[in-house]
Amino acid sequence: MIYDRNGEILAMSLPKKTLCINAYQVSKIEKKDLKKYYQLNKIINVSNDKFLKILKNNKNKRELYLKRKVDDEIAAKISKLKLPYVYFIEEFHRVYLGGNYFSNVIGFTDIDDKGQEGIEYAKNDQLMSVGGLKKVRKDNLGRSIETIELIKKPVPGKNIYLSLDKKVQLIGYNILKEYVKKDKAESASLILIKNKTGEIISMVNYPSFNPENRTEMRGVNIKNRAVTESFEPGSTIKPFTIYTALKDKEFNKKSIIDTSPGILKIGKYEIKDHKYLGKLTLAEIIQQSSNVGASLVALKTSKRSIHNTLRELNFGETLYMGLPGEQSGKLDHHSSWDESRHASVGYGYGLSTTLLHLANAYSVLANHGKKIQLTYEKQKPNEIFFDNGLNNKLSKEIVNMMTMVVETEKGTGKKAKLQKYTVAGKTGTVRINVGGNYKKNRHLALFVGIVPASNPEYVAAVIVRNPREGQAYGGKNAAPIFKKFMDHSLNLLKVYPDKK
């Protein structure tokens, strides 16, 4: 079985009857006597001609599956017919109590209970039971009447306890559903991480699929897009650009960057701000999300240092989660960067990442520089280990700068502001690249937040893909999702408020 962190069942196997027939014996029956089997055909919705063809093609088989995992009501009707050489064997049918809101994370199995997607696929060897083998005596009608010898004992599958919380997951799913419809977006994903343990508390994608309906088990909706889709992260990279500049002592907290006239030309490329911002401190570059400011800072910071910081945060590398289809993103070596790439990486273009990678990077900031392995399995205290990542003091300073994004009127993420908790966050608005061209009317809206900022416990990352209701912005489309989700979740997770 698969459980959530609180012991709530998310997926389990229930016994189901599979209809079998001894085709070898039935094929010997004269055609006129076969008519009594036609009642069976009506119940299982098989034409008489097809039934006869099945018998002919399998006449040497003594055990043939006629219909697998039939409903109890149908099995009862078939049993009443008391047909010779027709019997049932016990199999198991996978049931998903997590519904649509867990479906593209947990995944699904095939008819043989082998994992095909999601955690079901990743943990198939642990979850799948191993069938036993016994020697039985059967009567003249092919029914088992006595067990003679147990040759091999069956081995049940193991239980798995996820780090995810069923209640929080449902909250996230319903909020994503609401905002995808409201903003006429293609889809959205959300990740919530408990940064002090590395546990993923929620990982939600909308739209998803009904795990009880096999016709829905195809297409993009079965994918866990929080880990399988990479994109350019845009302005969510700016805090790491500023971190690197401070670490290299190219700038200090009081440094002033003149972003006038709001456009920076590099060769044939133009980097623009969303409006004229003038002279800014490093904190204000993060607060007001200046592309020109971040580019100017990046150009005065060594390419090697920026690359090393991003590598330290695992951008362009695997996170070793073991989830199917998990992408690493792409971060080219700094030796291949020309001046325009050097500048563009500073504000999050020219590299690609996943939502999970972004949440991972911000978890390092939340842990004031300490790295921790992310996991979707519930952790015990002795299983949690930290590693050195970023500078402790500078990480705290960046988190402090990021509070200006949410807690001040000029901040681009003010719609993520919470009444009881201080939030450190960053917005991102990214043009989608289609065939090498950035589309003016296709965007990704992003927000990543750390809460409570004074003593971080959780990191949440939100992406809204191609919202089409008005102009798309991370602060407009993703930040409100963060606010509503955290408003509901933090109380449930018993996080003590840090605002008076």
| Residues tagged active-site | 235
| Cα–Cα nearest to 201, from 162, 165, 166 | 165
Angstrom CA distances, 43 to 33, 47, 93, 254, stand at: 18, 10, 20, 80
Give the containing element (helix H, strand E) for 433.
strand 424-434
CA-CA distance, 444 to 466, in Å (whole number)? 5
Cis amide linkage into residue 207, ω under 30° from 0: yes
CA-CA distance, 178 to 261, in Å (whole number)? 39
Query: What's the token pair of residue 313?
Result: 């945060």
In sequence order, which ranges of 337-421 are alpha helices (DSSP H)? 339-346, 355-366, 392-407
34's CB contacts (< 8 A; 6+ apart) are: 26, 52
| Cα–Cα nearest to 203, from 308, 115, 319 | 319
With contact defined as beta carbons under 8 Å apart, do 23 and 64 qualify?
Answer: yes
CA 263 to chain centre: 37
Quickly count: other Cβ atoms within 10 Å of residue 120's Cβ: 26
Label residue 471 exposed, middle or buried (CB < 10 Å: 0-12, 13-18, 19+): exposed
Query: What's the token pair of residue 426?
Result: 């960053």
Rounded to 5, what percent of the chain is helix, strand, coil?
35, 25, 35
Angstrom CA distances, 384 to 197, 198, 373, 396, stand at: 6, 8, 8, 22
| Beta bridge partner(s), residue 264 | 271
Strands 2-3 and 160-161: parallel
Label residue 174 exposed, middle or buried (CB < 10 Å: 0-12, 13-18, 19+): middle
CA torsion 290-294-297-302 (nearest 10°) is 180
Query: What's the token pair of residue 174?
Result: 């319903």
Quickly count: other Cβ atoms within 10 Å of residue 68's Cβ: 15
Strands 64-70 and 2-3: unpaired
Residue type at position 135: K
